[in-house]
Each structure stands twice: as C-alpha cells, then as structure tokens.
C-alpha cells in the first residue's frame, strides 16, 4: 500500500487486511453486545475477549515479528479495532496499549526494552496504560507539570494525571513527564515506563456515566523512583517521540468511532426494514431513509480518511499522517454521534429501551467528539496547518 495509491483514488485494502477483518468480525460476533454490556453492568472486565484476541494474534498485528507480532502496521491494528467496535464489543485499551505504547517502544525503545515489553503486547498477556492529560493542562504538553528529575542513576517523578484509562488492568503506565534542559533551564517532555506497583504511585477511579468495562482514573505520582532504563527513547527527543504515539491514538480513535457508527447504522437499517406502522416498512419513507443514507455516505468517507491516515503513517509521512489522522478522528466522531442519535430516532420509543442496546451507546458516542482530542482542537489544527491561518490559541 503506497501513498501514490491513495492519491490516484484507486485505494483498496490488501487481501490480507480484508481477511483479517473477516476473522476479527467472526470473533466479535462470538462475543457481541450482550457480552460487552453484561460485563459493564456486572463490573467485570472483558478479559476473555482480550485474551482470545491476543492468542489469535489480533492485538499484536502491528508489533514487529521479531517480538512475536504480526509485523503489520497501524492500519491493520485499526482494522481490528473497528471490527470489534462494529460487533458491539470494543476494546478501549487497544487504543493505548498496543497502539500508543507499543508504537513508541517499537520506534524508540532500546533493544532490551523492546524484548522486555513488546512480546506481552503481541500475545495479549501484557497491558500498558498511557498518561498525558493533567487537571490543569489537558493534553497540552507545554503545560504539563509532572516532572522527572535525575537522582544519581535514577529518575524521581512527581505529578498528577487525570482521565487515564485502564490503569487497574495495567502492569505499567507510560508517563509523559518533563525534564529540565540543563543548557536552557526549560522543561521538555520525556517518556517513562512506570510500574503500577511502584512505591509512591496511587490512583483513584473517576465516577463516569459511560457504559463500558474500562474505567478512568486520576493518578498520583509522589516521589516515584525509577531506574535509568525506565526512560523510553531520548530525553532530548521531546515532541517528536510523543507524537509517534499520538497519531496512532487518533487513528485508533477514528477506527473505533467508525465501528460504533456501523453498529448503530446496522441496527437502524434492520429496524427500518421490519417496522411497519401503516402500510409499508418505515424505511420506505424518506424521512427515515434519507438520514440513514446520509450517515452511510459520511461513514464511508470517515473510514477512507482513517485508512488514508494509517497508510501515510506507515509510509513515514508523519506530517501528512497527523493531518489525516486529525481529520479522520473529527469525521468519525461526528458520524458516530449522528448515527447513534438517528438510530435511536428511527426506533422511536424503543430506542430508549435497554433491550435494543442503543441508549447505552449515547455517552460512548459523545466521547468520540472529545477524546483523545476534541473536535475544537482538531479544527484549530486544520485551520493553522492545513489552511495556513494564524494560530488562534
């Protein structure tokens, strides 16, 4: 798959990826929405699905082969994410564990770090969290106050993070901290793998209204001592290595949103074909049919932009991938919200009944406009970098 292929308009996914989608869709159908929603309601994790996806190699499709992975790229992992989401059993930690953390370690980790941390990602036996957002900084890396200071051969970390996913399931958290540049005295971002059983590390669950097994947490990092090799990459790499993980995060977020929109649209179309109030199925009425047709169009455009972003990233065009990933994330978030809302409207009162498994998707669809980057910040990015307009913030 090449960037030129996309530019000519002749883009098609490879046969391997199409087969991957079929296999993952079959796995998703085995579990489905009933499994996902019951796990959420009972406070269980989707461990069985995660473990099976790992054993089958789906979680590790983008991990290098020498570490037990499939040797594919972020587009393959995004396809797995989309298909599971479309089956009603999304795995949120795919976005942070193999996508963000796995990508950063594969690109910037030492040989020893790769051998230590990547095989577990490849087979699903290891789960890592990622923490950048802070109470007063959001994801603005220039305002992050979590610091890492040298103390002999060790690092000492202090700070606080918030809205961090899945810490209770992770053995390590990849922490974005800031180190002091001894030449200038300014702070610059650096990345550290912090074991969740470290002394001085604790977390508190945030009470969220989102239906899902994964939880959100505030992290407290109080004088946590880490060995020198906890630093991933160079302490001088700064923003470059951070965005090596954030662009895949946006691609995965877009894939998840597209999968959610597919699920909602499928439910709406099936209902519109069967539901009859007067003399014909309600899907024969344009007031029902046209909104669903428009969603289908917008969904296909979002999926294509997601695939384009993944292809650009795989080709090494990181600026182009960043632009496309932001656009894909925006488009997927919009269509996910629209699709869930219209699916509920199509069902009428049934759309708010738990039985139809749509009302549970409302808060999740709304999240796609906020995380991992808000649509407003995406519009800022496009205005500045795509259109050349003055920076607005």
Give the DSSP letter string of 189-200: EEEEEEETT-TT
Neighbouring CB atoms inside 10 A of 81's CB total: 31
CATH 2.40.110.10 maps onto the chain at 130-232
At residue 139, the pLDDT reads: 65
Q: For 373, how many CA atoms within 13 A lie in the half-sphere containing its CB?
A: 29
CATH 1.10.540.10 maps onto the chain at 3-127
At residue 116, the pLDDT reads: 98
**The CATH number, out of the four listed (1.10.540.10, 3.30.60.50, 1.10.10.10, 1.20.120.450), of the domain defined by the range 3-127:** 1.10.540.10
Q: Name every residue whose Cβ is closer than 8 Å to that of residue 63 and which is 6 or more positions away in sequence.
A: 69, 70, 71, 98, 102, 106, 118, 121, 122
Backbone angles phi, psi at 171, to 5 degrees: -85, -25
pLDDT per residue as tens, the chain (393 positions): 444 444 434 468 999 999 999 999 999 999 999 999 999 999 999 999 999 999 999 999 999 999 999 999 999 999 999 999 999 999 999 999 999 999 999 999 999 999 999 999 999 999 999 999 999 877 676 778 999 999 999 999 999 999 999 999 999 999 999 987 655 556 788 999 999 999 999 999 999 999 999 999 999 999 999 999 999 998 776 677 888 899 999 999 999 999 999 999 999 999 999 999 999 999 999 999 999 999 999 999 999 999 999 999 999 998 999 999 999 999 999 999 999 999 999 999 999 999 999 999 999 999 999 999 999 999 999 999 999 999 998
- Nearest CA-CA partner of 243 in 137, 143, 319, 307: 319
User: How distant is the alpha carbon of residue 340 from its chain centre?
Assistant: 19
CATH number of 239-386: 1.20.140.10
At residue 8, the pLDDT reads: 37
3 state DSSP class of 212: coil
At residue 152, the pLDDT reads: 95
Neighbouring CB atoms inside 10 A of 37's CB total: 19
CB 66 within 8 A of CB 232: no
Task: State the architecture of 130-232 in CATH terms.
Answer: Beta Barrel (2.40)
Whole-structure pTM value: 0.94
Which contiguous run of DSSP H or E holds residue 358?
A: none
CATH 1.20.140.10 maps onto the chain at 239-386
- Nearest CA-CA partner of 130 in 186, 44, 192, 209: 192
User: How distant is the alpha carbon of residue 157 from its chain centre?
Assistant: 26
For residue 323, the cross-strand partners are none
């Amino acid at each position: 798959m090449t960037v030129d292929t996309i530019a000519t308009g002749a883009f098609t996914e490879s046969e391997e990826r199409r087969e991957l989608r079929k296999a993952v869709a079959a796995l998703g159908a085995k579990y489905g929405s009933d499994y996902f929603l019951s796990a959420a309601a009972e406070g269980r994790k989707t461990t069985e699905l995660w473990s099976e996806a790992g054993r089958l190699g789906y979680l590790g499709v983008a991990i290098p082969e020498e570490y037990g992975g499939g040797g594919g790229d972020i587009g393959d992992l995004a396809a797995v994410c989309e298909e599971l989401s479309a089956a009603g059993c999304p795995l949120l930690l795919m976005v942070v564990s193999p996508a963000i953390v796995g990508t950063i370690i594969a690109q910037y980790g030492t040989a020893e770090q790769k051998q230590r941390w990547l095989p577990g990602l490849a087979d699903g036996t290891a789960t890592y969290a990622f923490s950048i957002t802070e109470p007063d900084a959001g994801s603005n890396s220039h305002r992050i106050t979590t610091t890492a200071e040298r103390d002999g051969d060790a690092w000492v970390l202090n700070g606080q993070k918030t809205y961090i996913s899945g810490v209770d399931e992770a053995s390590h958290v990849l922490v974005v901290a800031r180190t002091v540049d001894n030449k200038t005295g300014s702070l610059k971002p650096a990345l550290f793998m912090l074991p969740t059983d470290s002394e001085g590390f604790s977390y508190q669950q945030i009470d969220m209204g989102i239906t899902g097994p994964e939880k959100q947490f505030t992290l407290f990092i109080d004088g946590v001592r880490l060995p020198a090799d906890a630093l991933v990459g160079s302490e001088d790499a700064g923003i470059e290595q951070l965005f090596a993980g954030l662009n895949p995060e946006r691609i995965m977020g877009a894939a998840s949103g597209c999968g959610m929109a597919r699920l909602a649209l499928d439910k709406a179309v099936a209902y519109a074909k069967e539901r009859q109030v007067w003399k014909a199925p309600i899907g024969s009425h344009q007031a029902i049919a046209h909104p669903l047709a428009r969603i289908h169009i917008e969904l296909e455009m979002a999926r294509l932009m997601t695939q384009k972003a993944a292809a650009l990233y795989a080709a090494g065009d990181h600026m182009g991938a960043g632009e496309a990933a932001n656009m894909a994330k925006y488009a997927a978030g919009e269509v996910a919200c629209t699709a869930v809302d219209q699916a509920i409207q199509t069902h009428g009162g049934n759309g708010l009944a738990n039985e139809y498994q749509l009302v549970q998707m409302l808060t999740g669809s709304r999240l796609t406009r906020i995380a991992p980057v808000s649509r407003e910040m995406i519009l800022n990015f496009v205005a500045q970098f795509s259109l050349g307009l003055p920076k607005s913030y």
